[in-house]
A and B are shown apart, each in its own frame.
Chain A
Amino acid sequence: MSVLKTSNLTKKFGGFTALNGVDIEVNKGEVFGFIGPNGAGKSTTIRILLGILKATEGEAKIFGMDVWKDAVEIHKRIAYVPGDMNLWPNLTGGEVIDLFVKLRGTNNKSRREELIKKFNLDPSKKCRTYSKGNRQKVALIAAFSSDADLYILDEPTSGLDPLMERVFQECVMDAKREGKSILLSSHILSEVEKLCDKVAIIRQGQVIETGTLNELRHLTRTNLLVETKEALSSLHEIKGVHNIEKKGQAYSFQVDSVELDNVMKYVSQFGIVKLESAPPTLEDLFMRHYEGAGKTSNTGAGGAL
């Protein structure tokens, strides 16, 4: 069942097209990763989903309701964590958490205390004294102590230390176990890889790739490290082999997934001594999309990685 769906979402700021026909769909109980470099349009998409910006064209629905017209109704059931927060300097963290939770409607006192302890936050300090990481904790505690059906997280771990990052990941897992849906925008790819069921890659306001991690991997290359009895020759002439590197006696290279069978047949002729294969990481996927495009794309607001 689809919880969040956008179709042909487009946003123009004057002459600049920030989003150009974005289609994403998040289903119930799914953790959806939304990745892309700075300025690709992740935050713009999220701000449209929150009804803060109005889409120029296209449609976005959450729980089947229009994100602009029914914003308040939708917001009763979602929790949002921005990547950086400007908080009121003269309110304490505890006050801000209570205010945020109360404004959504639901309230879960015991969960609040538990999270404050888990994230190790002092709620009696004024927000002006908080570091970036502590401000982020305020947002995370406010989000996870409310009973939302959809969590929208925009680079939620920026500024958190590795310990707190792990606490955050536990929170996401817990929410998922309870059947909640999560939209996680991030450029920490290891985090996305660990948490997400599905991924969409956005570049210059367009989703260029979307699917489960397995589906995406299928489209790409496998990393191989091969050592053979006889010296491998003419490897570079074989179709689908890339980035050959000699490492001592062995060769490391990448193979297009569709050509894997042929390449293995060819290599085995030389007598395999050692074979290591690794699935491509999300980083490989990501870099491949951006390396390919890097030469042609210098436009866009800060579209570099």
Chain B
Amino acid sequence: MSKQLYINTRRLTRLILRRDRIRIPVWLLSLSVLTFIVANAFTSLYSTEQERQIAAETMRNPAMTAMLGPGYGLDNYTNGAMMAHQMLLFTALAVGIMSILFVARHTRADEEEGRIEMIRSLPVGRLSNLQASILVSVGANLLLALIIGFGLYALGIKSMDLEGSLLYGAALGAIGIIFTAITALFAQLTVTSRGTIGFSIAILLLSYLIRAIGDVSNQALSWFSPLGWVLSSEVYVNNYWWPILLTIGVSFILVIISLYLNAIRDLEAGFIPAKPGREYASSFLQSPLGLALRLQRTGLIAWAVGMLILGASYGSVLGDIESYFSNNEMMEKMLTPAAGFSLTEQFLTMLMKIISMICTIPPLMAIFKLKGEEKKNRTEHLLSRAVSRSRLMGSYCIVSIVSAFVMLSLAAIGLGAVGNSVMEEGIPFGTFYSAAMAYLPAIWVMIGIALLFIGLAPKLSSLTWVYLTYSFFVIYLGGLLQFPEWMGKLSPFGYIPQLPIEEMDFMKVSILTIIAIVLMVIGFIGYKKRDIQG
């Protein structure tokens, strides 16, 4: 390929660095600081060999293998082995997302917005922008590998030697580099940045899934996943370097292919043709409710799957709760002992608090979509037609309330199904489900608060998120940090009876429901009376 194609790559590289001079350091810093904190935490939580060996025992089940990857070095579960086994995969996922977002932002997104057209009208090579984006992304990942590698070694933890630490960093960097290449490829194939990001993240999740199935059933399958490759480097135990070289080699080939495809295609064209959309709206779409659902379809489905997985992954630890907790002081502090109930059942009440609060996020996002649409001047399209404000708000409210129910149900189903499959003595499925459903009134109150803000003071509506965060802290960490009890009572989640340890309290739940309804009604009235902004 001629030199012409790469002219001014250096300048574009500097432009990209200038545009992302905050973004890149923030990513690198948060990923490495997180890694160092967790490494330290593991070391202080599991300081004796006996504690570590007990933790290793909890890892010996298919659910854990599927979630974290194959357990290696379990017979001598050092802090290093523990770190690599429990953290490497999830950090790698984050690094993959970082690279995907970065490359998509500087390639297809810029092209879609017409900025590349401007650049290309200047004396700049046809491949310069793609090459510059890849260079910066690879550079950032190398830097991350070095920071984490030397940083982990510098923590001075006994089982984390220099080679292992560098390999740990290199494994993360390699995943970042291969997803840089994969995204660069999809940036050539698809026409929109949404498509580029969507396909690349799909590959990332697919890699995780294939590896999960492979690790549990047939190791050969894991060889189809880049995440499987880097995990087989067995950091801190056997320190194999060749999987890293394999990953980099494949990335290199993918980069060559994407540069080639970029060279032969038209600007703003792609290789996966954008299929023409519908010429007519389906009858489902032709109402405010249908529109509200359609606009949030992808997001809600993603959350639903996420909640099922969240439930399932909490469920996968239920089998080992008894042995785990009897050896962990910190965890024991978080639970209030209750006579007549197993530790697992007590743990279940804490899980339900966390799950219910996470399940509050999608309903809140659904209701705040109404405000987002207003800000983009799109509620006007509906209100200037024969749609009343109550009908419009009602549509979003229905989506929100139904999504609360669906999310909570899915999490409970995941928790119950996987939990019962790993426990020796099962807990009836109804116990899981009713414990989860008891939290619905608290979520309704949160939806009511959101509606109240949208109706009366839309500018302050982010306070709803502050309130949810507050609830999370006092409910989740309240016991551990010995917060006074009234702080928990400032959150609707603090009033929910903790099934199965406590009795169902219909009085409290009914009062919460009434509060939720009152908040919602005030929100509706306010929304009817105010100006539509935007």
Q: Is the CB of A72 within 8 A of B386?
A: yes
**Nearest-neighbor residue (CB-CB) of B288 within chain A:** A103
What are 20 A-B contacts with C-beta separation under 8 Å? A51-B383, A52-B380, A54-B529, A71-B383, A75-B385, A76-B386, A85-B381, A86-B378, A88-B378, A90-B194, A91-B294, A92-B278, A94-B281, A98-B281, A98-B285, A100-B381, A123-B280, A124-B276, A126-B277, A128-B192
Across the interface, which residues of B come within 8 angstroms of A76, CB to CB? 386
- Cβ of A42 within 8 Å of any chain B Cβ, yes or no, is no
B residues apposed to A, CB below 8 Å: 192, 194, 274, 276-281, 285-288, 291, 294-295, 376-378, 380-388, 529-532
Q: With both chains docked as a complex, state the minimum distance between the C-beta of A123 and any C-beta of chain B, in angstroms.
A: 5
**Nearest-neighbor residue (CB-CB) of B279 within chain A:** A94
- Cβ of A87 within 8 Å of any chain B Cβ, yes or no, is yes
Contact among A47, A86, A88, A104 for B386, CB-based, below 8 A = A104
Q: Is the CB of B295 within 8 A of A102?
A: no
A interface, size bucket: 35 or more
Q: Is the CB of B278 within 8 A of A99?
A: no
> What is the bound-complex CA distance between A195 and B173, given in angstroms?
66
> What is the bound-complex CA distance between A13 and B133, given in angstroms?
46
Across the interface, which residues of A come within 8 angstroms of B294, CB to CB? 91
> What is the bound-complex CA distance between A103 and B287, given in angstroms?
6
Q: Is the CB of B377 within 8 A of A105?
A: no
Chain A, 199-231, CB within 8 A of any chain B CB? none
Q: Is the CB of A103 within 8 A of B531?
A: no
> What is the bound-complex CA distance between A90 and B531, given in angstroms?
27
- Cβ of A258 within 8 Å of any chain B Cβ, yes or no, is no
Q: With both chains docked as a complex, state the minimum distance between the C-beta of A118 and any C-beta of chain B, in angstroms.
A: 16
Contact among A72, A90, A95 for B387, CB-based, below 8 A = A72
Across the interface, which residues of A come within 8 angstroms of B288, CB to CB? 103
Q: With both chains docked as a complex, state the minimum distance between the C-beta of B330 and any C-beta of chain A, in angstroms.
A: 46
Q: Is the CB of A95 within 8 A of B280?
A: yes
Chain A, 10-58, CB within 8 A of any chain B CB? 47, 50-54
Q: With both chains docked as a complex, state the minimum distance between the C-beta of A127 and any C-beta of chain B, in angstroms.
A: 9
**Nearest-neighbor residue (CB-CB) of A73 within chain B:** B386
Q: With both chains docked as a complex, state the minimum distance between the C-beta of B64 and any C-beta of chain A, in angstroms.
A: 38
> What is the bound-complex CA distance between A94 and B280, given in angstroms?
5
Q: Which among B276, B288, B386 has the highest number of chain A CB atoms within 10 Å?
A: B386
Q: Is the CB of B279 within 8 A of A53?
A: no
Across the interface, which residues of B come within 8 angstroms of A47, CB to CB? 380, 532
A residues apposed to B, CB below 8 Å: 47, 50-54, 71-73, 75-76, 80, 82, 85-88, 90-92, 94-100, 102-105, 123-126, 128
**Nearest-neighbor residue (CB-CB) of A74 within chain B:** B386
> What is the bound-complex CA distance between A110 and B185, given in angstroms?
44
Q: Is the CB of A52 within 8 A of B281?
A: no
Q: With both chains docked as a complex, state the minimum distance between the C-beta of B380 and any C-beta of chain A, in angstroms.
A: 6
> What is the bound-complex CA distance between A128 and B376, given in angstroms?
14
Q: Is the CB of A103 within 8 A of B529?
A: no
Q: With both chains docked as a complex, state the minimum distance between the C-beta of B530 and any C-beta of chain A, in angstroms.
A: 8
Q: With both chains docked as a complex, state the minimum distance between the C-beta of A278 and any C-beta of chain B, in angstroms.
A: 40
Q: Which among B192, B277, B295, B384 has the highest number of chain A CB atoms within 10 Å?
A: B384
Q: Is the CB of A52 within 8 A of B286?
A: no
Q: Which among B278, B279, B287, B377 has the highest number of chain A CB atoms within 10 Å?
A: B279
**Nearest-neighbor residue (CB-CB) of A87 within chain B:** B378
Q: Is the CB of A86 within 8 A of B376?
A: yes
The answer to whether residues A53 and B386 also contact, given A94-B280, A99-B281 and a CB cut-off of 8 A, is no
> What is the bound-complex CA distance between A61 and B387, given in angstroms?
18
The answer to whether residues A100 and B529 also contact, given A94-B281, A95-B278 and a CB cut-off of 8 A, is no
The answer to whether residues A100 and B385 also contact, given A52-B532, A86-B376 and a CB cut-off of 8 A, is yes
Across the interface, which residues of B come within 8 angstroms of A102, CB to CB? 281, 286-287
Q: Is the CB of B279 within 8 A of A123?
A: yes
Across the interface, which residues of B come within 8 angstroms of A126, CB to CB? 274, 277
Q: With both chains docked as a complex, state the minimum distance between the C-beta of A80 and any C-beta of chain B, in angstroms.
A: 4
The answer to whether residues A50 and B388 also contact, given A92-B279, A102-B281, A103-B286 and a CB cut-off of 8 A, is no
> What is the bound-complex CA distance between A276 and B228, given in angstroms?
88
Across the interface, which residues of A come within 8 angstroms of B378, CB to CB? 86-88
Across the interface, which residues of B come within 8 angstroms of A94, CB to CB? 277-281
> What is the bound-complex CA distance between A90 and B194, given in angstroms?
10
Across the interface, which residues of A come within 8 angstroms of B530, CB to CB? 54
The answer to whether residues A88 and B295 also contact, given A105-B386, A125-B276 and a CB cut-off of 8 A, is yes
> What is the bound-complex CA distance between A50 and B386, given in angstroms?
11
Across the interface, which residues of B come within 8 angstroms of A103, CB to CB? 286-288, 382, 385-387
Q: Is the CB of A53 within 8 A of B532?
A: yes
Q: Is the CB of B280 within 8 A of A98?
A: yes
**Nearest-neighbor residue (CB-CB) of B387 within chain A:** A103
Q: Is the CB of B386 within 8 A of A125?
A: no
Across the interface, which residues of A come within 8 angstroms of B381, CB to CB? 85, 100
Across the interface, which residues of A come within 8 angstroms of B281, CB to CB? 94-99, 102
Q: With both chains docked as a complex, state the minimum distance between the C-beta of B237 and any C-beta of chain A, in angstroms.
A: 47
Across the interface, which residues of B come within 8 angstroms of A87, CB to CB? 378
Q: Is the CB of A86 within 8 A of B377?
A: yes
Q: With both chains docked as a complex, state the minimum distance between the C-beta of A257 and any C-beta of chain B, in angstroms.
A: 40
Q: Is the CB of B380 within 8 A of A99?
A: no
Q: With both chains docked as a complex, state the minimum distance between the C-beta of B371 and any C-beta of chain A, in angstroms.
A: 15
> What is the bound-complex CA distance between A105 and B287, given in angstroms?
10
The answer to whether residues A80 and B531 also contact, given A92-B278, A95-B281 and a CB cut-off of 8 A, is no
**Nearest-neighbor residue (CB-CB) of B277 within chain A:** A92
> What is the bound-complex CA distance between A50 and B291, given in angstroms?
21
Across the interface, which residues of B come within 8 angstroms of A71, CB to CB? 383, 388
> What is the bound-complex CA distance between A98 and B530, given in angstroms?
28
Across the interface, which residues of A come within 8 angstroms of B286, CB to CB? 98-99, 102-103
Q: With both chains docked as a complex, state the minimum distance between the C-beta of A142 and any C-beta of chain B, in angstroms.
A: 9
Q: With both chains docked as a complex, state the minimum distance between the C-beta of A172 and any C-beta of chain B, in angstroms.
A: 19
> What is the bound-complex CA distance between A86 and B374, given in angstroms?
11
Contact among A82, A95, A96, A98 for B380, CB-based, below 8 A = A82
Q: With both chains docked as a complex, state the minimum distance between the C-beta of B120 and any C-beta of chain A, in angstroms.
A: 20
> What is the bound-complex CA distance between A87 and B278, given in angstroms?
16
Contact among A72, A85, A88, A123 for B388, CB-based, below 8 A = A72
Q: Is the CB of B384 within 8 A of A52?
A: yes
> What is the bound-complex CA distance between A110 and B117, given in angstroms?
40
> What is the bound-complex CA distance between A123 and B376, given in angstroms?
22
**Nearest-neighbor residue (CB-CB) of B286 within chain A:** A102
Contact among B192, B295, B385, B532 for A104, CB-based, below 8 A = B385
> What is the bound-complex CA distance between A75 and B383, given in angstroms?
8
> What is the bound-complex CA distance between A96 and B285, given in angstroms?
9
Q: With both chains docked as a complex, state the minimum distance between the C-beta of B21 and any C-beta of chain A, in angstroms.
A: 29
